[in-house]
Homo-oligomer: A and B are copies of this chain.
Amino acid sequence: MTTAILDGARLLGRLSALGAIGRDGEGRLARLAATDADRAGRAALMGWMEAAGLSVTVDRIGNVFGRWSTPENEAEAPLLLGSHIDSVVNAGMLDGCYGVLGALEVIETLKAAGVRTARPIVVAAFTNEEGARFAPDMLGSLVFVGGLDLDTALATVGVDGARLGDELARIGAAGTVDPGHFRPAAYVELHIEQGPILDREGVRIGAVENLQGISWQEVTIEGTANHAGTTPMTMRRDPGLAAARTVAFLADRANRSNTPTVATVGRMRFAPDVINVVPSRAVFTVDLRDPDETRLREEEAALAAHLDGLVAEGFRVSVERLARFEPVVFDVGLVARIEAAAAARGLSCRRMTSGAGHDAQMLARICPAAMIFVPSRDGISHNPREHTDAADLVAGAEVLLDLVRRLVEDGRRVIPLSENPDPSGFSEVSA
A contact residues vs B (CB 8 Å cutoff): 193-197, 200, 212, 214, 216, 226-235, 238, 240-241, 243-245, 247-248, 251, 254-255, 260-270, 273-279, 282, 285, 287, 289, 322, 354-357, 379, 381-382
A200: chain B residues at CB < 8 Å are: 235
8 smallest beta-carbon distances between A and B, as pairs: A195-B230, A229-B355, A230-B355, A244-B247, A228-B264, A244-B244, A275-B285, A228-B287
Q: How far is the CB of A215 from chain B (nearest CB, A)?
A: 11
Name the distance in Å between A320's Cβ and chain B's nearest Cβ. 12
Contact of A230 among B194, B234, B254, B255 (CB under 8 A): B194
**Interchain CB contact under 8 A, B231 and A379:** yes
- Contact call B229/A254, Cβ cutoff below 8 A: no
Q: Is the CB of A231 within 8 A of B355?
A: yes
Find out whether the CB atom of B227 lies under 8 angstroms from the CB atom of A355: yes
Q: A119 vs B104: C-alpha distance in the bound complex, in angstroms?
A: 99
Is B196 a contact partner of A235 (Cβ separation < 8 A)? Answer: yes
Q: A266-B277, A275-B267 are in contact. Are A240 and B247 (CB under 8 A)?
A: yes
Interchain CA distance A248-B233 in the complex, whole Å: 13
Q: What are 23 A-B contacts with C-beta separation under 8 Å?
A: A195-B227, A197-B230, A197-B235, A214-B229, A227-B356, A228-B266, A228-B287, A228-B355, A229-B354, A230-B379, A231-B355, A233-B254, A233-B263, A234-B255, A240-B268, A241-B248, A264-B277, A266-B273, A266-B274, A266-B277, A268-B268, A268-B273, A275-B322
Q: Report yes or no: B266 in contact with A270, Cβ–Cβ below 8 A.
A: yes
Assess whether A265 is in contact with B241, with CB atoms less than 8 Å apart: yes
* A276 neighbours in B (Cβ, 8 Å): 216, 264, 266, 287
Inter-chain contacts of A247 with B (CB < 8 A):
240-241, 244
Note all chain B residues with C-beta closer than 8 A to A262: 228-229, 231-233
Listed residue (A276, A287, A356) with the most chain B CB atoms within 10 angstroms of its CB: A276
Shortest A216–chain B CB gap in Å is: 6
Given contact pairs A228-B262, A267-B275, A233 touches B245 in the complex (Cβ within 8 A): no
B residues less than 8 Å from A267 (CB atoms): 270, 273-275
